[in-house]
């Protein structure tokens, strides 16, 4: 009887662990020692996007490299996707005593870092890579957060796409995100591998997020590294100055001629400016 009870308990424990693991909204790899830096990737990307950056940063810093649920090999979670990730990141920072951490985020990851900083001033600084406080406002005239709903014609269309049509769509998108064809292929493969529901409804979460007014709550140093392509430097300046106008103070640097994935297009410029931001 005792043996039966032990086996039953073991099976219950394994079952419980499996459920918990699937509810975890991210995977983290910790590399290096020193002051903590949390690296948040862009939408659909894995932590591998930071590989070259971490090779340099981990010499002097403890890098916490994230891959979010539904991307790479991390199991998907139930929506709302982005709020769950944000809340669990706060818990991760608290439970691991990562006081005074630097938040470094690209695209979606940058918006996530901004969101966290509007609610908590415990971070040392933000380094934001080609990210805006309101992606939805960039894409849609007369934007309002409440317009962004899961049950929309566009979401239904993408959810219903066959694999061939979906690959064609994301291939076209990836072609404008990096200059080199091999990097475009990497980005495309990340999108294809993404859980389809996360890709569709998680992006709705991002579009719904509008932090433009809340930026006034941020009182830590912010460095923004921005791309100029595909619309050129003047359009990029106008966009960033408009979206960040309520942020009290920030340092904005443009990677001239770079597309969205600055770390791919201009790796030397990128790491030089990240290190400069960390040293200032």
pTM: 0.91
Cα separation of 74 and 51, whole Å? 18
Question: What is the CATH class of 31-279?
Answer: alpha beta
Q: What is the mean pLDDT of residues 270-277?
A: 98
Q: How many alpha carbons fall within 13 Å on the CB side of residue 272?
A: 7
pLDDT digits (tens, 9 = 90+) for 212-264: 999 999 999 999 999 999 999 999 999 999 999 999 999 999 999 999 999 99
131 CB burial (10 A radius; 0-12, 13-18, 19+): buried
Residues 6+ apart with CB under 8 A from 34: 60, 61, 62
Domain ranges of the chain: 31-279
pLDDT digits (tens, 9 = 90+) for 176-190: 999 999 999 999 999
**Residue 226, SS3 per DSSP:** strand
Instruction: Reply yes or no on whether the pLDDT at 12 is more than 70.
Output: no
Provide the pLDDT for residue 2.
36
């Amino acid at each position: 009887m005792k043996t039966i009870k032990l086996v039953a308990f073991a099976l219950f424990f394994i079952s419980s662990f499996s459920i918990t693991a699937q509810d975890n909204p991210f995977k983290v790899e910790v590399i290096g020692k020193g002051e903590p830096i949390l690296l948040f990737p862009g939408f659909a990307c894995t932590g591998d996007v930071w590989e070259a950056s971490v090779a340099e940063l981990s010499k002097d810093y403890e890098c916490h490299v994230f891959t979010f649920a539904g991307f790479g090999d991390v199991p998907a979670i139930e929506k709302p996707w982005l709020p769950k990730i944000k809340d669990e990141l706060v818990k991760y920072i608290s439970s691991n005593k990562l006081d005074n951490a630097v938040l470094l985020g690209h695209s979606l990851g940058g918006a996530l870092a901004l969101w966290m900083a509007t609610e908590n001033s415990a971070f040392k600084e933000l380094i934001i890579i080609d990210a805006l406080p309101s992606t939805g406002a960039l894409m849609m005239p007369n934007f309002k957060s409440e317009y962004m709903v899961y049950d929309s014609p566009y979401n239904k269309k993408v959810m219903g796409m066959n694999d061939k049509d979906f690959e064609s769509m994301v291939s076209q998108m990836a072609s404008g995100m990096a200059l080199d064809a091999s990097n475009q292929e990497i980005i495309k493969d990340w999108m294809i591998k993404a859980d389809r529901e996360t890709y569709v409804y998680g992006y709705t979460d991002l579009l719904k997020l509008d932090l433009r007014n809340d930026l006034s709550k941020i009182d830590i140093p912010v460095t923004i590294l921005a791309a100029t392509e595909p619309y050129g430097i003047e359009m990029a300046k106008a966009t960033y100055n408009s979206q960040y106008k309520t942020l009290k103070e920030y340092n904005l640097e443009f990677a001239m001629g770079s597309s969205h994935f600055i770390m791919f297009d201009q790796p030397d410029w990128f790491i030089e400016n990240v290190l400069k931001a960390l040293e200032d």
